Structure 1
Amino acid sequence: MVVIEFILQVLLGLTSLILTFFILLHRGRGGGLSDMFGGGMSQAVGSSGVAERNLNIITVIVALVWFLSIVGLGLITKFQVI
C-alpha cells in the first residue's frame, strides 16, 4: 500500500507541473497571462488548428490523470489502517 501511495504522489507532482505547462501553452483569447509572455504576437503568425486540438486533447488527458491520482490518494488516506 505504501508503494502505491508513493507512486500516486509522484504522479500527482509530475502531472501538476505538466498540466501547468500545457495550460500556459494554450493560445490566449485576448488579454491575460499568455499575452504577457508573447502570446499576442503568436496570434498574428497564426497557429495550426490541428495543433491546438491536439494540445486540448493532451491537456484533458493529463487533467484526468491528475484528478484520478488525487481521488486515489484521498481513498488511500481515508481507508488506511494504522
Structure 2
Amino acid sequence: MYTLLSILQVFIAVVLVLLILMHSGRDTGLSGAFGVGTGSGPFGGGSLVERNLNRWTLGFAVAFAINTIILLRLG
C-alpha cells in the first residue's frame, strides 16, 4: 500500500508542477506558449481555460496534501 501511494504521490507532484507552470503570471509564463493567457490560440478566449486550470490545480494540490498526510500516517 505504501509503495502504491508513493508512486501516486510522484505522479500527482509531476502533474501539479506542470499545471502550475501553465498558469499565467507577471511575465505570462508557459501559458503564453499554449495560448492560455492570450485571446488568440488554439483554446480561444482564455477565461474558461484559466478557470478550469485553476480548478484542476486546486484539485491536484488537495490530492497532494491528502496523500502526503496518508503517507505520513503509514510511514
Q: TM-score range by the shorter chain?
A: 0.7 to 0.9
- 1:11 corresponds, among 5, 8, 15, to 8
Higher relative contact order (CA 8 A, sep 6+): 1
- Alpha-carbon spacing, 1:31–1:63, altered in 2? closer, same or farther (3 Å): same
- What is the root-mean-square deviation of aligned Cα atoms in Å? 2.1
Runs of 5+ consecutive residues of structure 2 not aligned to the other structure: 40-44
Number of residues of Structure 1 aligned to a counterpart in Structure 2: 68
Q: Give the 4+ runs in structure 1 shifted more than 6 A.
A: none
Offset at residue 38 of structure 1 (A): 7.7
1:20-63 deviation per Cα after TM superposition (whole angstroms, max 9, x unaligned):
000000011x248x1xx5849x55x3351110000000011111
- Give the corresponding residue for 1:65: 63
With over 3 angstroms needed to count, the CA separation of the structure-2 counterparts of 1:38 and 1:50, relative to structure 1, is closer
More helix by share: 1
- Percentage of identical aligned residues: 25
TM-score (norm 1): 0.71
Contact 1:8 1:73 survives alignment (8 Å): yes
Whether the aligned pair in 1 keeps the contact of 2:24 and 2:31 (CA below 8 Å) is no
What residue ranges of structure 1 are gaps of 5+ in the alignment? 78-82
Residue type matched to 1:50 in 2?
L
